[in-house]
Homo-oligomer: A and B are copies of this chain.
Amino acid sequence: MKALVVVAHGSRRAASNDEVRELACELAGMLSDTFPIIEVGFLELAEPLIPAALERAIEAGATEISVFPYFLSAGRHVVTDVPEEVKIVQNKYPQLSINMLTHLGAASGFTRFIAETLKA
């Protein structure tokens, strides 16, 4: 069973973390066919942390997890920190299929979407 784990940085401001949780909730509604399981994980400052989020997906029956870095640019977090957290879980469950998706900022059509937004 396929799972999506949306990974965000985490903020000291609770409302900001709730925004991410809300996004994941909306995505769950839109993507239920593709990803029957959707979880959110934070790199720091908010719960659940990334390993706990992946464990939640596994407990829900996930056998294939796609990790979506909800980050705008490929900074240290995307390049190093998130993959390291994911690796903790991969090492614990070697048979589990985990794949890292492209981070949001590198999504195809992203610039076009922003341009349309700014025009409106």
Q: Tell me the A residues contacting B by CB distance below 8 Å.
A: 4, 8, 11-13, 15-17, 19-20, 23, 26-27, 30-31, 34-35, 66, 68, 70-76, 79, 101, 104-105, 107-115, 117-120
Task: Tell me if B76 and A27 are in contact (CB < 8 A).
Answer: no
Beyond A8-B73, A107-B113, A108-B117, 13 additional contacts (C-beta under 8 Å) are A11-B75, A13-B74, A20-B72, A23-B114, A26-B111, A27-B115, A30-B111, A30-B115, A31-B115, A31-B118, A34-B119, A68-B118, A110-B117
Task: Tell me if A108 and B79 are in contact (CB < 8 A).
Answer: no
| Distance in Å: Cβ of A63 to nearest Cβ of chain B | 18
Q: Which of B8, B68, B117 contacts A107 (CB 8 A)?
A: B117
**Oligomer copy total:** 2
Task: Tell me if B105 and A118 are in contact (CB < 8 A).
Answer: no
